[in-house]
């Protein structure tokens, strides 16, 4: 199972990271389960990153302080899926 966390206050940048993540998932169509969790609490966010937006896949920080595009996220998701199998 993939656990994907979008870290941020819910600002437009955070929403774009989530949208790009959903786009990447749509392209991959992973067979296993996945969950997208929005983390908006400042204390919880600070456990992972110092700057938002952030993206965490299976407890590994893959992006901080920028908006990765869907193709980049797709690569990270593919790597995470390979580790799960």
- 37 as an active site residue: the answer is no
**Peptide bond before residue 35 is cis, with ω within 30 degrees of 0:** no
> Which one of 2, 6, 14, 39 is the catalytic residue?
14
Catalytic choice (11, 36, 42, 84): 11
Task: Reply yes or no on whether 14 is catalytic.
Answer: yes
Going from the C-alpha of 21 to that of each of 43, 48, the distances in angstroms are 23, 18
Q: Give yes or no for a contact between 37 and 4, defined as CB atoms under 8 angstroms apart.
A: yes
Active-site amino acid positions: 11, 14
């Amino acid at each position: 199972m993939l656990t994907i966390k979008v870290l941020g206050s819910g600002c437009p940048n955070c929403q774009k990271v989530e949208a790009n993540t959903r786009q990447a998932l749509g392209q991959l169509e992973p067979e296993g389960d996945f969950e997208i969790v929005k983390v908006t609490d400042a204390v919880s966010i600070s456990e992972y990153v110092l700057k938002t937006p952030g993206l965490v896949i299976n407890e590994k920080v893959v992006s901080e302080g920028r908006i990765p595009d869907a193709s980049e996220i797709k690569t990270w998701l593919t790597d995470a899926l390979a580790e799960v199998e």
